[in-house]
Amino acid sequence: MTFGKELKFRFKCLGLLMFCLGVAGCGETKDASSGTKRETIALFTKNQTNPYFETVRVAAKAAAAEQGVDLKNYIPTSNDSIPEQMNQIEDAITSRPSAAVFIPVDAKAMIPGVEKFNAAGIPVVNLIDRADGGQFVSFLGCDDYAVAMNTAKYLLQKMNGKGNVIIIEGQGGSSNNQKRIAGFKKALEEFPNVKVLASQTGNFQRNMALQVTENLLQAHTQIDGILAANDAMALGAIEALDAANRKALVIGMNGTKEAIDAVKTGKLLATGDCDGFLQGCMGTMAAVRHLRNLPVPREVIFPITVFDSTNFKGADVPYEQRMCPKWESIVKD
């Protein structure tokens, strides 16, 4: 093949590819503009793998249907990818949604993204993870520090305020992790007879937490409690305990369905959470209320629940069957 021919061939391929993309693109816009002109809410979540964000998306979809608006999801294909979320913001701005509900993958790194929304005049509601800058209609979320502190306190009380614990940290550098670990440490300050044997990272991953717990079980003959910075790691730690025939009280965070099931069977002591379903509902409703000139407070902090064997009921109802609460029942003027 001569150079010219090869070049031509490549252009043909490129043309074919662009044609395919064009067709796909058309399909998408048709979807969005079907029916009468409806408002569109762009929802930005952090990844496709954490069940917590799937809960948020299911709830947002329910709220959007109730409010009669369209919902468009933007989810990075690489988990919590900063550049990808930044690109998705630019993509969203070109299709001009009425408003955005935004969960930043990183509190600081996404500030320029929020500023792009601001410059384009698209109102943004900040949900779940607080961004450190940019203009928002409102922040609705949960105080991770307080959730971690309350859940840890619950564990330490169950241990009668004495014994040995290990901490399984999340990903270093993540602001969620920093808040959660700070919450754990604050709770531990109140229980001077509890000794922290080790605080090691499990990167928010089940497999790594399993491996780290196996290693720590080798190093320490008596571990009474395990504080994990999310549910997946707590469940990984439980697998390690089971395999080694050891017992310890374990807590996690997020209130995922799997964790609630583990609470039900008594394997997990508790999981702390601000209900992801409630947050997905309220975030979407806040955006719609703003579009319809209804009052939205600058800040809504959701109540914290520590799910244990006494109060898990209701949390184990499949999300698809749940209904969003009334705005007024959560936000009192």
Partner 1 sequence: MKYRLIGVVLIALALGLSSDAFATPSNLLNVLRQASLVFLSASGLTLVIVGAGLDLSVGANLGLSACFAAAAIKATGTLFAGFSAGLACGIIVGLMNGLMVTKLRLPPFIATYGMLWMLYGVNYWYMKGDTIYGFPSEFRSLGSGDLLGIPIPVYLMAIGLLAGGIFTRYTTFGHEVYAIGSNAEAARLSGIPVSSRLILLYTLSGAMAGLAGVIYLARLNSAEAGIGSPLLLPAIAAVLIGGTSLFGGNGGLAGTMIGAIILTLVLNGMNLLGINSNWQPLVTGVIILLAALIDSLTRGHAELRA
Which residues would be at the binding site for partner 1 (CB under 8 A)? 47-51, 53-55, 57, 77, 79, 169, 172, 198-201, 203, 205-208, 210-212, 214-216, 218-220, 232, 235-236, 239, 242-243, 256-258, 261
Least distance in angstroms from the C-beta of 79 to partner 1: 6
Give the torsion sign (CA, 7, 10, 16, 21): negative
* 127 versus 296: smaller Cβ distance to partner 1: 127
Amino acid at 331: V
Least distance in angstroms from the C-beta of 326 to partner 1: 26
* 7 versus 243: smaller Cβ distance to partner 1: 243
* 49 versus 157: smaller Cβ distance to partner 1: 49
Angle, helices 257-264/231-244, rounded to nearest 10 degrees: 40
Asked whether the beta carbons of 89 and 119 are under 8 A apart, the reply is no
Structural element, H or E, at residue 87: helix 82-94
Least distance in angstroms from the C-beta of 212 to partner 1: 5
* 50 versus 126: smaller Cβ distance to partner 1: 50
Least distance in angstroms from the C-beta of 122 to partner 1: 26
148: tokens are 């971690």
Place of tokens 């917590």: 52
* 62 versus 304: smaller Cβ distance to partner 1: 62
Least distance in angstroms from the C-beta of 219 to partner 1: 4
Q: In the chain, count H helices and then E strands.
A: 11, 12
Dihedral, CA of residue 195, residue 201, residue 207 and residue 211, to nearest 10: -50
What is d(CA 294, CA 53) in angstroms, rounded to the nearest whole number? 27
